[in-house]
Amino acid sequence: MIVIVMGVSGAGKTRIGRDVAKRMGWTFIEGDDLHTEANRQKMAAGTPLTDDDRWPWLARISDAAREIEAAGGSVVIACSALKQVYRDRLRTAGGEVRFVHLAGDTDVIARRMKARRNHYMPPGLLESQIATLEVPSEDERVMSFDVSARAQSTVAGVVRWLKDKN
């Protein structure tokens, strides 16, 4: 199984994704680690990525997920997956791809971003991410969780959802 923990920057994708992977005994991939240095520098400078910037990144994420699944493993990936076309591209990675959407109050997310240290994504790009986000539709096999909930509660909810779907 391939699980993409998605949402805007600061939503908690890494923490939730890492904890879900640990609880399930699966591999975790931080999608940001698969960005090119040019993409990281662009974002650090406050410039939003374009679709052309994102397509090769999404291909690297899909390739990494496909390799793990082909070896008989399952993986949880932290990846913004803001647009439906991005999610559609990620669905080509394997047989069963599910999305966990971390969504919620913009002020909560902005506070989280401002509190982060040593992260290339500046809080000023939050608005561009929100503008880019296409909220997943019901037919996309997505479960949404509120970013205001305690992390342990969200992780437990995701794990229950994944186990119920197995």
Q: Summarize pLDDT for 51-85 with one digit per residue, the tens.
A: 999 999 999 999 999 999 999 999 999 999 999 99
User: SS3 of 71, please?
Assistant: coil
What homologous superfamily is domain 2-165 in, according to CATH?
Answer: P-loop containing nucleotide triphosphate hydrolases (3.40.50.300)
Distance CA(165)–CA(38), nearest Å, equals 38
The pTM assigned to this predicted structure is: 0.88
User: SS3 of 48, please?
Assistant: coil
Q: Summarize pLDDT for 88-125 with one digit per residue, the tens.
A: 999 999 888 999 999 887 776 667 656 656 655 555 56
The residues near 147 (Cβ < 8 Å, ≥ 6 apart) are 7, 11, 12, 102, 103, 104, 105, 108, 109, 112
In 4-150, alpha helices (H): 13-24, 37-44, 51-70, 84-91, 106-115, 126-132
Distance CA(141)–CA(90), nearest Å, equals 13
Q: Which two tokens stand for residue 135?
A: 């909220």
